[in-house]
Amino acid sequence: MEDGLAPPARRAPIKCPIAAEDVDQLPTPTVTSEEFLQFKRKATTIVEEYLSTDDVAATASELRELRVPCYHYYFVKKLVSVAMDRHDREKEMAAVLLSSLYGDVIDRPQVYKGFCKLAESCDDLSVDTPDAVDILAVFVARAIVDDILPPAFLAKQLPCLPDGCKGAEVIRRAEKSYLSVPHHGEIILQRWGGIKNITVDEAKARIADILEEYLAAGDTAEAFRCIRDLQIPFFHHDVVKRALVLAIERGGASEGHILDLLKSASDQGVINESQIIKGFNRMIDSVDDLTLDVPNARCLLKSIILKASSEGWLCASSLKPLGSEPKKVVEDDPAVKRFKAKAVASIHEYFLTGDIIESVSRLEAENSSCSCFFNAIFVKKLISFAMDRKNREKEMASVLLSSICMPPEHVVAGFHLLIDCAEDAALDNPAIVEDLTMFFARSVVDEVIAPSDLEAMEEEAGRRKAAGSPGMLALRNAHAMLGAKLSAERILRCWGGGGTGKAGWELSEVKDKIGKLLQEYDSGGGVREACRCIKELGMPFFHHEVVKKALVAIIEKRGKDERLWGLLSECYGRGLITPNQMTKGFQRVADCVDDLALDVPDAGKQLGCYVERAKKRGWLDASFSIARPVPDGIAVCS
C-alpha cells in the first residue's frame, strides 16, 4: 500500500455473476439493478474525492471496500469521463490512478471493458466536451503505453463500432496520431505534464539515486518511501530494470540485496506484478548490450529469473524467451570481413552518386537479418569516412543515416564504436570532437535517435571513458547544443545542406520544391499525389517547412480556400507530419507573424484561430501558445 499503510483485511468479495476472462463474456448490469445504482453513486464520489486529494492509497482502499469487482469497468469509465472535462492535472491524475490500480484492484478484463464503454459513448461525451475525440485518444494511447490495455484493443474494437461514429475516430487517432509517431512513448507520457511534472530523464536519475542509497544503507523502508514519493507507479518497470542491471553488474552481496528489495516490493504491493514483468522483459531485451561489460550477463539473468520464480514473486511463463547465448561475432570472422569490405564499397559509391535508394537496398541485401552488430559497423564506417572528407560528404552521411530507418539501438551501438575509437581517430583528425558533436546532435534533430538515447549514451560512456576523452566531450557538447534556442535550424545547416533529403541540394532549392508542390495541390492536384511528393523528398525532419508554407498561404488567402488545411490534416492522419514537426511549423509562423501582418493586417488573429483548431484536432499540445499578443482584427477561419 501507498504511504506505508498496511492494506485493510479483505472480506470475501461479493460473487459476480460471471468471472470471465473474456471481456466479451463480462456481464453488463441492468440500469435497474439497485446494487449497480448504489455502486455508481459511490464510484462518482470516490472519483471526485480522488481528483481533489490525489490520494491513490485511499482511493484503492475505498474501491476495494465496495466489494463488487464485476462493476469496476464503470469506475474506469467514470474516472476518465470526469477527467476529460477537467484540466491537464486531473487527466494526468486519472491516468496515474488507472495504472496504479491495474492488477491489484482492477483486473485486466474490467479495464478493457471500461475503455470499450468509453469508445461506445464518445458521441455523448462530445456534447459536453467538444474535443472529446482527441482527449479520449490520448487516454487510450496512454493506457497502451502504461501496459494496462493491450495494443490489440485497437484492431479488435474498431470493427465493433459503427462507421462514422466518434468512437471509431478515437481508435484511429490513437493509432495514427499518437502510437505511430517516433518516440511516441515519451510524447504520450508527457502530454499532460509528464511523470508527475518531472521528465523521463529526471525520473530515471531519481530511481538510480534511490537504488544506490539502498545498496549503501540497506534501508528497505526508506527505499520504498522514496519510490512511493515519486508517484509514478506506471513507471516502476524502470525501477525493476535498473535494479537488475545493478545486480548483474555488481554481483555478490549486492545481487542478494537487490533481489530482497524486489521481493519485498512485490510482497508489499509497492511494485505490482505487471510492472515487475515489464521490467524483466526490458532487461531481457537489453541483455545483449550488457554482455559488452559483463560477458556472463545472460547466465546471471537466467539465474535471477529462476530464483525469483522459485520464490513466487515472478511469473516466469509471462516473460519473453531469454534464448541461448548468441554466437559471438569476432572482428576476424570471414563474414565480418566480407561485410566490412562491401560496406566500404557501398559508402564510397554513395559519396560519388548520392543514390540513397541504392545504398539502402545494398545494406538491406548484405544485412538481411538486420544484425545490430553489422548495422553498427556500417554506421561507424559511414561517419568515419565522412569525417575525413568535406562538408558535402558529412551532410550526405547524415541524410543517408536518417533515410535508412535503422532501429535506434543499432545507431546507438554504432555511435558507441565511434566513441571507443575516438582517441585514435583524433591523431588523424584534430577536429574529431567538433565532428562527432554535430553528428550526435544532428541524429537527434533528424529523429534518428531520441534525446533519451543521447542521455543513455553519455551515462554508458561515462562508465568506460575519462571525462576529458573526445567521445565524452562530444556527447556533452551535443547535449548543450540541443538545449540552445533555435538549435535545430543551426544544426540542420551546419554543413550547408539545410537538412535536405537529397545530397547536394541547397536549402533554397528544397524550399522551392515544397512551395511548388503546395501550389500544384492548391490548384487542383490530388491529395495522394501531394502526399507522395512530400514523402519522396525524403526529409521527414524538415516537414515543418511544409506546415509553415501551407499556413502562410492559408492566412494570405484569409481562409477563403482551405484545401491546404485539408492537406495538413491528411498528412497528419497518415503520420507523414509528426506532432513535433507540426509544432515547429506553427511556431515558425508565430515567429514571423509580425512580418506577415504587413501584408495581412489580421494575420495574428487568423493564426490564433488556426492554433485553436489545431489543438482541437490534436495536432498541437494544449500548452502551445503564440508567444506575442495577437493584434486586434476579425478572424475569418471557422
Q: Which domain holds residue 38?
A: 2-189
Does the pLDDT of residue 247 top 80, yes or no?
Answer: yes
Q: Are residues 344 and 471 in the same domain?
A: yes
Q: Are residues 181 and 45 in the same domain?
A: yes
Under the banding of pLDDT at 50, 70 and 90, the label for residue 194 is low
Q: What percent of the chain has pLDDT over 90?
A: 22
Q: What is the pLDDT of residue 487?
A: 74
Angle at 280 between CA 278 and CA 115, to 5 degrees: 10
Q: What is the pLDDT of residue 378?
A: 92
Euclidean distance between CA atoms 226 and 360, whole angstroms = 48
Does the pLDDT of residue 90 top 50, yes or no?
Answer: yes
Under the banding of pLDDT at 50, 70 and 90, the label for residue 459 is confident
Q: Rounded to whole angstroms, what are the CA distances from 191 to 194, 198, 622?
A: 6, 12, 9
Q: Are residues 300 and 381 in the same domain?
A: no
The string of pLDDT tens digits covering residues 262-275 is 999 998 888 888 78
The string of pLDDT tens digits covering residues 2-13 is 333 333 333 333
Q: Are residues 56 and 167 in the same domain?
A: yes
End of a domain among 166, 189, 212?
189
Residues 7 and 1: beta-carbon distance below 8 Å: yes
Q: Are residues 367 and 465 in the same domain?
A: yes
End of a domain among 253, 284, 317?
317
Q: What percent of the chain has pLDDT over 70?
A: 86
Euclidean distance between CA atoms 213 and 4, whole angstroms = 19
Q: Pick from 274, 267, 261: which is nearest to 304 by CA? A: 261
DSSP notation for 490-550: HHHTTTSSTT-SSTT--HHHHHHHHHHHHHHHHTT--HHHHHHHHHHT--GGGTHHHHHHH
Q: List 106's β-bridge partners, or say none.
A: 102
DSSP annotation of 629 reads P
Q: Is 62 a domain residue?
A: yes
Q: Is 152 a domain residue?
A: yes
Euclidean distance between CA atoms 32 and 335, whole angstroms = 72
Q: What is the pLDDT of residue 371?
A: 80
Give me the number of domains the chain comprises: 4
Q: Are residues 293 and 375 in the same domain?
A: no
The least confident of 111-115, 332-336, 413-417, 541-545 is 332-336
Q: Is 633 a domain residue?
A: no
Q: Are residues 432 and 558 in the same domain?
A: no
DSSP notation for 387-415: HTS-HHHHHHHHHHHHHS---HHHHHHHH
End of a domain among 464, 492, 520?
492
Under the banding of pLDDT at 50, 70 and 90, the label for residue 230 is confident
Euclidean distance between CA atoms 441 and 140, whole angstroms = 32
Three-state SS string across 439-502, please?
A: HHHHHHHCCCCCHHHHHHHHHHHHCCCCCCCHHHHHHHHHHHHHCCCCHHHHHHCCCCCCCCCC
Under the banding of pLDDT at 50, 70 and 90, the label for residue 207 is very high
What CATH number is associated with residue 480? 1.25.40.180
What mean pLDDT is reported for the chain? Answer: 81
Q: Is 502 a domain residue?
A: no
Q: What is the pLDDT of residue 504?
A: 44
| More confidently predicted of 111 and 352 | 111
The pTM for the full model equals: 0.40
Does the pLDDT of residue 242 top 60, yes or no?
Answer: yes
Under the banding of pLDDT at 50, 70 and 90, the label for residue 551 is very high
Q: Is 125 a domain residue?
A: yes
Q: Is 407 a domain residue?
A: yes
Q: Is 52 a domain residue?
A: yes
Q: Pick from 47, 29, 114: which is nearest to 83 by CA? A: 47
Q: Are residues 123 and 167 in the same domain?
A: yes
Q: Pick from 336, 345, 338, 344: which is nearest to 373 by CA? A: 336
Q: Is 630 a domain residue?
A: no
Q: Are residues 339 and 457 in the same domain?
A: yes
Nine-digit cell at 500?
535536405
Residues 325 and 300: beta-carbon distance below 8 Å: no
Q: What is the pLDDT of residue 324?
A: 57
Q: Are residues 358 and 280 in the same domain?
A: no
Q: What is the pLDDT of residue 83?
A: 94
Does the pLDDT of residue 471 top 60, yes or no?
Answer: yes
Q: How far, rounded to the nearest angstrom, does the alpha carbon of residue 204 sit from its chain's CA centroid?
A: 15
Q: Are residues 17 and 132 in the same domain?
A: yes
Q: Are residues 544 and 436 in the same domain?
A: no
